[in-house]
Structure 1
Amino acid sequence: MRRTVDYYFVPQSPWAYLGHARFAALLRETGTPVRVRPMDLGKIFPLSGGLPLQKRAPQRQAYRLLELRRFSEALDIPLHPEPRFFPVAGDPAARLITAVAQHDGDEAAMRLTGAVLAAVWAQQRDIADDATLAALLAETGLDAARLAQSRQPEVQARYDGHTQAAIDLSVFGAPSYVIDGELFWGQDRLDFVARRLRA
């Protein structure tokens, strides 16, 4: 049976960045379709007991930086643990990815998602800035009109729908991969995702 993966993430997540290329490669290898679903963790955290980074205990914040360095080295993926533009608002990029998924399909949205994540964590660019988002569209070969379209109420409604769907599926963090209703949370669970898709 051919499965589809629902991919829930926020475009400013370092963990989504660390997993994105491996996830995309797994989809290609297995021929698995994906539904790209950026979500608003700001609405999910209050329901799931999560805390924004700035409100977490100091020891948790310190360990997060340690783990980012570990994974960056282990996976050989360039990453600035404390990039110049972070924290950064993810909504503009999330709406842009949503608009691209709507107009150009999920494969194009995956391509843009990878570029947005790398922009934050490898290139230290401001993904809340319209000029950066326009440049990322150009760099990924996508229509510049998507930026204006991303501000339309219909796109906001889709983005809100992704967030509600994530809540309904008990998603509480990013990235999350959902297969046949089963949740896999975190880029460090991609081995389990692979097992399911190859079964």
Structure 2
Amino acid sequence: MPTLSADVFWSFRSPYSYLATRRYRALTQEYDLTITLRPVYPLAIRRPDFFETNHPNWLGYTMRDFVRVAQYLGIPVAPPRPDPIAQNMLTRQIAADQPYIFRLTRLGQAAARRGAGLAFADEVSRLIWGGTENWHEGDHLAGAAARAGLDFAQIEAEAATDAEALDAEIAANQQALEKAGHWGVPTLVFDGEPFFGQDRIDLAVWRMKQAGLESR
């Protein structure tokens, strides 16, 4: 039976992406399965008015819920310091200057080019959402890259010098996500079928087992 493959559409700003990623990664270790990271820019970049036009209760509920899910799963979680998106959380206004998210997403796509996107996303999201203060400074990101088997200097240089091509690939990821039938993250797509959310992992595994997914 050939190795099965799936894509996961993912954002560095999404706490639910963080909650799902170590479990996606564990699946690739348990099963004969490859999961390709397809990073996308978060809604704050794609739709800056999202937070202003959504229901006033959305943000508060989401923050309560992802903390609750993390506690249930036994996954450490803390507010990101700094947030990958510069945003006034009181007014919900997205800042014009975004010093983190473009760099992060391009790094993620550069890692995906090397087949290590999922591992890189897992290691970096543990920094951002797991309580590491100033995760963007010092050797934090370099350490995450090393744990994912990557040369950080190499992917950082690529993110800077090949930004236009990387952004085109990231835009193509977004188009592929929408073509698969969804728009949000995390969404795992297997055989053209989307499974949106960190709470649909078991359902995705069930579907893949129907297609012959085998343990390693």
Q: Helix, strand or coil for the counterpart of 1:4?
A: strand
Deviation at 1:51, TM superposition (A): 6.1
Structure 2 residue 82 is the aligned partner of structure 1 residue 85:
yes
CA distance in 1, matches of 2:137, 2:6: 30
C-alpha distance after superposition, 1:10-64 (max 9, x if no partner): 1121001111111111222221112210012449965xxx964465433222211
Query: What corresponds to 2:11 in structure 1?
Result: 10
Q: Is the 8 A contact 2:14 2:42 kept in 1?
A: no
Query: What corresponds to 1:191 in structure 2?
Result: 202
CA distance in 2, matches of 1:54, 1:145: 38
C-alpha distance after superposition, 1:137-171 (max 9, x if no partner): 24544212110101303222222221222222232
Moved more, 120-129 or 34-43: 120-129
**TM-score of the two chains, using structure 1 as the length reference:** 0.83
Deviation at 1:129, TM superposition (A): 6.2
RMSD: 2.6
Q: Helix, strand or coil for the counterpart of 2:201?
A: helix
Q: Which has the larger radius of gyration?
A: 2
Q: 1:137 to 1:87 in 2, by over 3 A?
A: closer
Query: What corresponds to 2:21 in structure 1?
Result: 20
Q: Is the 8 A contact 2:5 2:33 kept in 1?
A: yes
Q: Which amino acid aligns with 1:86?
A: D
Query: What corresponds to 1:73 in structure 2?
Result: 71
Q: Helix, strand or coil for the counterpart of 2:150?
A: coil
CA distance in 1, matches of 2:133, 2:52: 20
Find the partner of 1:181 among 192, 198, 202. 192
Moved more, 92-101 or 137-146: 137-146
Find the partner of 1:97 among 100, 108, 111. 108
C-alpha distance after superposition, 1:58-81 (max 9, x if no partner): 32222112211211111000001x
Moved more, 182-191 or 142-151: 142-151
Moved more, 159-168 or 52-61: 52-61
Q: Which amino acid aligns with 2:62?
A: R
Query: What corresponds to 1:159 in structure 2?
Result: 170
CA distance in 1, matches of 2:18, 2:195: 16
CA distance in 2, matches of 1:126, 1:161: 30
Find the partner of 1:120 among 109, 120, 128. 128
CA distance in 1, matches of 2:195, 2:73: 19
Query: What corresponds to 1:64 in structure 2?
Result: 62
Moved more, 37-46 or 87-96: 37-46
Gaps of 5+ in 2: 86-99, 211-216
Gaps of 5+ in 1: none
Find the partner of 2:156 among 147, 153, 157. 147
Q: 1:90 to 1:61 in 2, by over 3 A?
A: same
Q: Helix, strand or coil for the counterpart of 2:103?
A: helix
Q: Which amino acid aligns with 2:7?
A: D
CA distance in 1, matches of 2:137, 2:178: 28
